[in-house]
Amino acid sequence: MIYQPAEDSYLLAKNLEKYLKDKPKSISILDIGTGSGIQAKTCKNFGFKNILTSDLNQEAVSHLKALGFKAVKSDLFSNINKKQKFDLIIFNPPYLPEHRYDKQKDTTGGKKGYETILKFLTQAKQHLTKDGAILLLFSSLSHPDIIKTHAKTLGYKLKLLDKKKIPHEELFVWEFSF
């Protein structure tokens, strides 16, 4: 099953649109954990062509290929060329803490909710161009202070782009850069 867009996807897409406004159409983009491809489609709709999508779900990869995107099956960066760098990496990760009723890979980011995000930020460093940026969404349930502290120890600069209260949590879109 492919992760379908929800409040988090739409919030990230809205901020992605703002971010892309002044960017050259030639930038290289990685939409990691693409799911339905909403972020990749947003980039394509703005005229960007150098887009790679990835997901650990083969159904999502096949779906994105059918839509004409370059797509690779990958668990985070496991199947992304180690030398490949991107000007923009977009990630709407699984960010919820494991729950006895929900242990799905598309929503659960680990026992505490932030484990996948920490692993992503560590791996993303080697795939980001010098002036590149990451747009990352996570929740108040993901222990944001742990994520931000980890990012700072890796040398990232952080900028809060947006937030939205929804029932039981608050969603955040952050920009990470060097």
Over residues 20-42, mean pLDDT? 97
pLDDT, the chain, mean: 91
For residue 173, is pLDDT > 90?
Answer: yes
The pLDDT of residue 4 is above 80: yes
pLDDT of residue 110: 58
Please report which confidence band the pLDDT of residue 111 belongs to, taking 50, 70 and 90 as the band edges. Answer: low
Tokens at residue 65, please? Answer: 């290929």
Main-chain phi, psi angles of 25, to 5 degrees:
-65, -10
Q: Which of 17-26, 102-111, 166-175 has the lowest mean pLDDT?
A: 102-111
How far apart CA 38 and CA 159 sit, in angstroms, is 23
Taking only the tens place, the pLDDT of each residue in 69-105 is: 999 999 999 999 999 999 999 999 986 666 655 445 5
Residue 164: what pLDDT? 97
pLDDT digits (tens, 9 = 90+) for 33-64: 999 999 999 999 999 999 999 999 999 999 99
Q: Which residue has the higher pLDDT, 69 or 142?
A: 69
